[in-house]
Amino acid sequence: MVRATLEKRPADVARMFDAVADRYDAMNAVMTFGQERRWRKVVTRHVAPTAGMRVLDLAAGTGASSAPFAAAGALTVACDFSTGMLAKGRAKHDDFTFVAGDALALPFADAAFDVVTASFGLRNVADLATALRELARVTVPGGKLVVLETATPPARPLRAVNNFYSGRVMPRLARVFSSDPSSYTYLAESAAAWLDQAALANALRAAGWEQVSWQDLMFGAVAIHCAVRPTG
Whether 3 is in a domain gets the answer: no
From residue 39, how far is each of 108, 180, 211, 224, 229 by CA, in Å?
A: 27, 25, 21, 9, 23
- On whether the CB atoms of residues 74 and 56 are closer than 8 A, the answer is no
Is the whole model's pTM more than 0.75, yes or no? yes
Going residue by residue through the chain, which has 232 residues, state the pLDDT in tens, using 9 for 90 and above. 444 443 556 666 666 666 666 666 666 676 777 788 899 999 999 999 999 999 999 999 999 999 999 999 999 999 999 898 899 999 999 999 999 999 999 999 999 999 999 999 898 898 999 999 999 999 999 999 999 999 998 887 887 877 777 767 666 666 655 556 566 666 667 777 889 999 999 999 999 999 999 999 998 999 999 999 999 7
Whether 1 is in a domain gets the answer: no
Whether 43 is in a domain gets the answer: yes
Whether 34 is in a domain gets the answer: yes
Question: In total, how many domains does the chain have?
Answer: 1
Q: 194: Cβ–Cβ under 8 A, 6 or more apart, which residues?
A: 123, 149, 150, 151
Q: What is the CATH number of the domain that holds 128?
A: 3.40.50.150
- On whether the CB atoms of residues 113 and 56 are closer than 8 A, the answer is yes
Whether 2 is in a domain gets the answer: no
Whether 5 is in a domain gets the answer: no
- Structural domain harbouring 106: 10-228
Q: Which helix (H) or strand (E) holds 146?
A: strand 139-150
Whether 198 is in a domain gets the answer: yes
Whether 70 is in a domain gets the answer: yes
Mode of pairing for the β-strands spanning 113-119 and 139-150: parallel
